[in-house]
Chain A
């Protein structure tokens, strides 16, 4: 199981920052507007005819149910978002916010009022038209009926007003770049006022696909929504099949049971596909920072010299070569390369064993045994031993514990913070604030200057946001709040001839609307 730490945006409004350029210009969206979400979505290939072909995609984690308003985890939006549910806005492949159910939107001068013009001909799969009332209902419902922690993304909303059936006005309590960005995620999904009775089993959306058949423990199929208001997708049926075992997943592609491996879990197995003419291997990046997290709140890692020593002791290049077959970018802070405020900060703590040893001695904690408590997830297990051995070479004492994920790890490390170091991929987009901006989060990192910077970034203009976020990321790295091992690569293997596969996994959705065959 790949993992997936969803974090709240406890400080979503204040903390994490947000949108890229689209938001800043008040005419955002209008340049690409035109009621055709299909054309502007993910990897849509313009002019591709619909066909009655079927496609099968192999994934790892099956959703427990289909209601992401009450159940956390990446598995549900991976299947449903953009495919079945649409938002007013969505992320395109460049990471920009683009129109979906809203054909265009304007932002007031005080950056607090958003006016959305809605698609006129959009319809839900229960036959009801999509109107501004549904949009208001959906946004209001987040605060009222959602139970997952992500709902806090809507705390900043002051009021929603239906101006006309095709226009919605949203007023925020304070300017927030992050809010419009969060509207591209599941929190911004639009629901029918009469279609929320059985979300766990019967999703009702406006998207190009609707739920076909769900065989629990095996697969979920989506079928084309023939009443879809935009460009209809190429595939008639797309089936997501779930494989707990990475070898079984690879075998399924090799024997033609599936056409695409959605996420390769064992990068060392890529060789068998790269040398085979039948397949294409796509390597992009994700939002998943693999973090060697420190307990900043108590124990030896509270000592900054210890944290710095650990960072100097780790040879990141050698580590990613050994434990993840050399795939995955090195970052140096909590920002993946696809975010607008990314900069390469790996130079702040270069590999330097001598320096690590000196700092360890100076810290006065050299006799402490560090508890490296990792979840039983492939990357953590694989990298945990490498981290341990690199640290031991620099003179640290390390005890490695594997905790069953999710249950045991959640209780011990996440809830009780009974650990010194752990290894976890934080896959939520733009999660610097969620992971380090909240002193009660398991990293137990407290830094008012950092939090203030995030708040300032959220409320500023686009240029200010980028500048402030860069500063925040640097501050975090210099303070050695954690060590960043690498970014999980987006590794996809597919039959040759399938086009439109998104290279980077930067949204929460596995967007199949743009896929096509030849």
Chain B
């Protein structure tokens, strides 16, 4: 068990190191000079050169990489090229916003998908099950940003029930915060719910065909009770895997949805920073996303161990 944990932890750290090199290398080959972009069109060559020195862009790539990584590891990422202000507080502000969005969307997806998926599986030969199945297929096909645009048109512009866009921190005005959260969370969450529903359905279907469930039925349990007592835990393993993958999708999906709903989260920060060639900021945001995805995978691995005792035994 401990060995297995350490093994997973080592994989996590190696993945982080490798991805930091990849992220850095990508930024290095991006066309466009950050100093030139920061100074505007008419800066003289000498002031651009001076700015490059100030940014530390005149150093060797290895030195730049090491100082960047050191900043990250010591949680002191330094100053942004463009705004000359500390990166740390900006990242944490933006991250909070995005987390609200992602966590709420994930919660919505889970709350919708697990019951609906289970019902679809149990009734997979009935009209209601097929209808739900069709609806979820449609949901899978719609990208989150399109869902966002449609939701805005209907509920904000035409009906006027909810604000079309914007963000208010929950501490400033909780009511406005919730109102503004509804549409982006729906557009992110419903699409994920549709995807998740399909997986829940197939996982439950698989379980329903298992011998042990037939045995449970033979002992006199109703299909639903048999499923709840003997089946759900087994169905959970593939669903947790998908949840982990989806969390990654959600983080990336948030980039686009934040733009559609004008939400100042990590995604907006990333897009702005790319266009301004605020390379350190871009690297940091991308690394945060990478860390989030890798850590989620790590946690999913741990969850397997919790859910499925056989994996624990296997690790001995």
Q: Which residues of A contact B (CB under 8 A)?
A: 1, 5-8, 10, 62, 64-65, 67, 70-73, 147-150, 200-201, 215-218, 241-245, 247-248, 251-252, 254-255, 257, 404-408, 410-412, 414-415, 434
Contacts and interface: CB of A to CB of B under 8 A. Distances in A.
B160 A410 contact: no
A490 B244 CA distance: 49
B243 interface: no
Contact of A410 (B37, B51, B152, B165): B37
Interface of B: 30-33, 36-44, 47, 51, 82-85, 90, 93-94, 149, 152, 156-157, 160, 163-167, 259-262, 264-265, 268-269, 271-272, 275-278
Given A407-B30, A408-B31, 8 more contacts: A62-B272, A64-B278, A148-B40, A217-B94, A217-B269, A218-B264, A252-B166, A410-B37
B264 to A, nearest CB: 3
Contacts of A412: 31
A72 B259 contact: no
Given A65-B82, A255-B164, A148 B260 contact: no
Contact of A257 (B82, B85, B166): B166
Contacts of B165: 243, 248, 251-252, 257
B41 A410 contact: yes
A334 to B, nearest CB: 16
Nearest to B276: A64
A149 B85 contact: no
A90 B164 CA distance: 38
Contacts of A248: 164-165, 260-262
The CB with the most chain B CB atoms within 10 A, among A148, A244, A411, A434, is that of A244
B38 A10 contact: no
B275 A414 contact: no
B275 A406 contact: yes
Contacts of A241: 166, 262
Contact of B82 (A8, A64, A405, A415): A64
B166 A217 contact: no
Contacts of B36: 407, 410-411, 415
A8 B90 CA distance: 32
A411 B157 contact: no
Nearest to A254: B157
A411 B40 contact: no
B43 A407 contact: no
Contacts of B268: 217, 244
B163 A257 contact: yes
Nearest to A215: B264
Contacts of B51: 147
Given A65-B82, A255-B164, A404 B32 contact: yes
Contact of A411 (B32, B39, B84, B167): B32
B32 A408 contact: yes
B43 A201 contact: no
A244 B271 CA distance: 10
Nearest to B36: A410
Contacts of A415: 33, 36
A171 B228 CA distance: 89
B42 A6 contact: yes
A244 B165 CA distance: 12
A64 B149 CA distance: 28
B266 to A, nearest CB: 10
A217 B91 CA distance: 12
B166 A6 contact: no
A268 B78 CA distance: 44
B46 to A, nearest CB: 11
A247 B213 CA distance: 53
A6 B84 CA distance: 21
B275 A1 contact: yes
A251 B272 contact: no
Nearest to A10: B42
6 contacts: A65-B82, A148-B43, A216-B264, A257-B163, A257-B164, A408-B32
A412 B36 CA distance: 12
A70 B54 CA distance: 13
Contact of A216 (B32, B90, B278): B90
Contact of B40 (A67, A149, A217, A434): A149
B262 A407 contact: no
Nearest to B162: A255
Given A216-B264, A244-B271, A149 B33 contact: no
The CB with the most chain A CB atoms within 10 A, among B38, B82, B277, is that of B38
Contacts of A200: 83-85
Contact of A147 (B32, B39, B163): B39
The 4 closest A-B pairs by CB, nearest first: A407-B32, A72-B40, A217-B264, A8-B42
A252 B272 CA distance: 20
A62 B268 CA distance: 12
B251 to A, nearest CB: 17
A254 B38 contact: no
B86 to A, nearest CB: 11
B153 to A, nearest CB: 8
Given A149-B44, A248-B261, A252-B262, A201 B164 contact: no
Contacts of B38: 64, 71-72
B84 A407 contact: no
